[in-house]
C-alpha cells in the first residue's frame, strides 16, 4: 500500500499524539483528557470522504476501525463507544473513536464541538499512551 | 444471514421511514427535513456496539455503509458526508449517514442533539423516498 503525497494536516497534528502506523492509518491519541479518544488518519493524499478511498482501502479502513474500537474498549472500558467521521472543520479524512461515560461532561450528546479541549497533563499522557500502544499492537 | 429475535427499537421506529432491507441492515430515511439523512439498523438482536457483531457481519455492515454513502452523495450532493454511530440515547445499534451543507443550521457542528427535528411534509417525503430507494437499489 504505497503512500504518495500524504501530508498530515496541521490541525490534526496539533491535537493528535501519534501512537503508530497500521497498514492504512496513522493512529493517534486525541489530546483531550476529557475522553479516551483515538483518531485514525488514512495515509492517503487529498481524501475527504471514506468513499473516495479505493474499495481495498475502505475494507482496510473498516478493519482498522474495528481493531481500534476493540483496543479502546479493553483499555478504557467505557459505557459506550462513539464512532464519527465528520470533517466539517478539518477536511482531511479522519475518523474518531471515542469512549463515552454516563458521567462525562457531554453525555449523552456528541463530543464534537462541545466545551473546551483539555490537553493531558504530561505526567499522565505517557502512561496512557504506553497502555494504548500495547493494546493496539504497536509494542511487544 | 438468519435473523433471530431482532425487534426494531420503538425510538428508532418513531424517527425512521423504512426504505428497504439489505442483507444485514434495514435502511431508513431519517425523518428530519433539515438534513438528507439515512439510518442503517443491523437486523441483529441485542447489539449495542459494532464490535459486538461477528466479523462477517462487521464486513457486511461496512460494505452497506459505503453503499449508503455513495447513494446519498449521488442523490443529495451534500458539501460533506457525516458518519456517526453513537447510541448514547437509544442503545440499539444504528448508524447515521448525514449529508451536510455549509448552509445547514448545525454546520460545522454535528447534527446529533442539535435543535429540533422537523418531520418531512407529507407531500415531499414520497418523492424523496422514491429517489433514494432507486439509488439504494430497492426499486428497478
Cβ–Cβ below 8 Å for B83 and A85: yes
pLDDT per position as a tens digit, A32-46: 999 999 999 999 999
Cell numbers at B78, concatenated: 451534500
Query: Where exactly are the structural domains of chain A?
Result: 10-136
What fold is seen in the domain A10-136? Answer: HIT family, subunit A (3.30.428)
User: Three-state SS for A88?
Assistant: coil
- Please identify among residues 17-46 of chain A the ones whose CB lies closer than 8 Å to any CB of chain B: none
Query: Are A97 and A40 contacting, i.e. CB atoms less than 8 angstroms apart?
Result: yes
User: Of the candidates A65, A84, A100, which has its C-beta nearest B84's C-beta?
Assistant: A84
- CA-CA distance, A59 to B87, in Å (whole number)? 23
Q: By percentage, how much of chain A surpasses pLDDT 70?
A: 98
pLDDT per position as a tens digit, A60-117: 999 999 999 999 999 999 999 999 999 999 999 999 999 999 999 999 999 999 999 9
Query: Are A71 and A135 contacting, i.e. CB atoms less than 8 angstroms apart?
Result: yes
The answer to pTM > 0.90 is yes
ipTM of the modeled complex: 0.96
- Render each residue's pLDDT in chain B as its tens digit; 140 residues: 667 899 999 999 999 999 999 999 999 999 999 999 999 999 999 999 999 999 999 999 999 999 999 999 999 999 999 999 999 999 999 999 999 999 999 999 999 999 999 999 999 999 999 999 999 999 75
DSSP state of A100: E
Q: Which of B21, B32, B39, B12 is nearest to B125 (CA)?
A: B32
Tally the C-alpha atoms within 13 A of residue A9's C-alpha that lie toward its C-beta.
18
Distance from CA of B87 to the nearest CA of A (A): 7
Distance from CA of B89 to the nearest CA of A (A): 6
Instruction: Report the chain B residue with the minimal C-alpha distance to residue A92.
Output: B80
pLDDT confidence tier of residue A4, bands split at 50, 70 and 90: confident
pLDDT per position as a tens digit, B20-59: 999 999 999 999 999 999 999 999 999 999 999 999 999 9
Residue B2 pLDDT = 65
Identify each DSSP E strand in B51-125 by its residue range. Answer: 80-85, 95-100
Query: Are A71 and A37 contacting, i.e. CB atoms less than 8 angstroms apart?
Result: no
B116 touches chain A (CB under 8 A): no
Amino acid at each position: 500500500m504505497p503512500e504518495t503525497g500524504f501530508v498530515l494536516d496541521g490541525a490534526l497534528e496539533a491535537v493528535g499524539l501519534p501512537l503508530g502506523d497500521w497498514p492504512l492509518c496513522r493512529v493517534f491519541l486525541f489530546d483531550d483528557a476529557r475522553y479516551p479518544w483515538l483518531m485514525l488518519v488514512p495515509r492517503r493524499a487529498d481524501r475527504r470522504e471514506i468513499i473516495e478511498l479505493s474499495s481495498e482501502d475502505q475494507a482496510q479502513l473498516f478493519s482498522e476501525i474495528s481493531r481500534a474500537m476493540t483496543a479502546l474498549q479493553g483499555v478504557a472500558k467505557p459505557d459506550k463507544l462513539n464512532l464519527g467521521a465528520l470533517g466539517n472543520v478539518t477536511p482531511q479524512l479522519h475518523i474518531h473513536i471515542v469512549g463515552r461515560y454516563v458521567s462525562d461532561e457531554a453525555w449523552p450528546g456528541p463530543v464534537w464541538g462541545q466545551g473546551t479541549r483539555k490537553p493531558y497533563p504530561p505526567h499522565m499522557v505517557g502512561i496512557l499512551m504506553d497502555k494504548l500502544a500495547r493494546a493496539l499492537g504497536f509494542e511487544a
